[in-house]
Amino acid sequence: MNVLVAMSGGVDSSVAAALLLDAGHEVTGVTLRLWGGNTDSGCCSVSDVEDARRVAAQLGVPHYVFNLAEHFNDRVVGPYVEGYAAGRTPNPCVECNRSIKFGVLLGRAAALGFDALATGHHARVQSNPSGEFRLLRGLDAAKDQSYVLYMLGQSELAQVMLPVGELTKAEVRAHAARLGLRTATKPESMDVCFVARDERHQFLDERAPGRPGPVVDVHGELLAEHDGVAHFTIGQRRGLGVAAGERRYVVDVDAASATVTIGRRADLLRSEIPVRDISWVSAPVGGEREVEVQMRAHGQPVRGRVVAPDRVVLHAAQPRVAPGQVVAFYDDDVLVGGGIAA
């Protein structure tokens, strides 16, 4: 097969390209230029592009750079800023996967005549005898990234390859070391790739200046004042500006009134999750469906059921999911669908 490999400059995508080459595929590497601003914690730096280029040269495969900065700004950075300004907690990595990697890039790969697009995500794609595709957790549970790929349906999975999903992270690094790849010991990218570490508040304030408002308890009693709701997220317990004898958490953020409500951990507990834009990996599910609900990238799944196109009921109450975060549905290791907490 003629495969386009999205090479971020990290060890996982480097090994993905090497594995596909070893398997006899015709491999071409591509690195995306997404962000031209200040960053020190992600996969958008000039050095990452250079690392990907050099790995491609080591492997002897063609390498190209696609500038998708305008798409990235419109579809990822803009919604990220707007989400926080509206009191939500968006996940830009998920939107980048949806709109950029498996949106614009996947479409461009097809238009250029490639048979498939490969990435270094730790997840697995399998097909059954009937030709239906399934998306499974990566073999390395600690590095599993299926959660951030919940939006992939049958049409996308038919064109996607995830070579490192069958390996542990240690095996990936060992394979890179055997090949002498410069990314073998490279640290993993962390945090939001377009925001420098510890500069999220500044980044948001420059693009969507906050409106001061009250910090209140669950009874509405005024406790303090804040500079903007974008500085808060559901479940947050540090930086609240309130002195209390016990731990307090953000339990609600109301952007319309610029009000932040804090309370005890018990005040965070919910037995239902409103979910928008639910999608299914295979055919849409009608009626109720029992699932394992995962509410954080590496969170422990809990039992629940999807009871409507926009609601999930949990068997046991859990801390509230911040609006904007992913709620993924599993059947054991198989990802069956997911949506965004509303």
Between the CA atoms of 25, 29, 34 and 40, what dihedral angle is there, to the nearest 10 degrees?
110
| Residue of 43, 44, 93, 193 marked active site | 193
Contact, 262 vs 235, CB < 8 A?
Answer: no
Burial status of residue 220 (CB atoms within 10 A of its CB: 0-12, 13-18, 19 or more): exposed
* 241 CB-side CA count, 13 A: 17
In the residue annotation, 93 being an active-site residue is answered as no
Task: List the structure tokens of 168.
Answer: 């542990």
Contact, 89 vs 83, CB < 8 A?
Answer: yes
Nearest Cα to Cα of residue 288 among 263, 267, 305: 305
Burial status of residue 104 (CB atoms within 10 A of its CB: 0-12, 13-18, 19 or more): middle
In the residue annotation, 44 being an active-site residue is answered as no
Nearest Cα to Cα of residue 294 among 149, 103, 165: 149
Contact, 75 vs 83, CB < 8 A?
Answer: no
| Residue of 43, 44, 93, 96 marked active site | 96
Catalytic residues: 96, 193
